[in-house]
Amino acid sequence: MPQPSPRMTLVLGGARSGKSLHAERLIESCPAPWLYVATAQAWDDEMRERITLHRSRRSADWITRDVPIDLPEAVAASDGPVLVDCLTLWLTNLILSEADVEAATVALIEACETAPGPVVLVGNEVGLGIVPDNALARRFRDAAGRLHQRLAARADHVVFMVAGLPMIVKPQPGAAA
């Protein structure tokens, strides 16, 4: 018997761990069309190449919206399955624009919990390494950890990606334990 789609899934992992591809496959298990909310900004050629690579592997059933800051509004306005990639770039954008991270976090949680379809959120786990040597990097690392903890507490399903392999941290509802 197929498992019900969790309302909110959080996919975490390190760089190049397979987070985005895994998240895409989770959303593709739902009926199309699928909304891909991209938070990256193409500030340089290397980032433009990354964005192009991500877009090239998605079919025409994906609708992409570039949303560097107004993520809660984009999720709230969705009408079906949503993939957000990624939370840590969104957090970077908020911090650099001096936005209210706490208010944005609350708004994102509310949007995810009231979205009409499943929401899959992708984030980079940045707290497994050394303590950063500057205040801005420490502030970012701490804010990312708090954001991920709050979303994980509310999520139905949490996955940690390691070398392309999903490790289930919080099983989805109805899944065998």
Instruction: Provide the annotated active-site residues.
Output: 54
Biggest distance spanned by C-alpha atoms of the chain: 51
Three-state DSSP class for residue 170:
strand
Is the Cβ–Cβ distance between 37 and 83 less than 8 Å?
yes
Q: Are 7 and 151 in contact (CB under 8 A)?
A: no
Query: Per-residue b/e over 79-106, b at no fewer than 16 CB within 10 Å?
Result: ebbbbbbbbbbbbbbbeeeeeebeebbe
d(CA 92, CA 47): 15
Helix (H, G, I), strand (E, B) or coil at 161: strand
Q: How far is Cα 145 from Cα 120, in angstroms, rounded to an integer?
A: 18
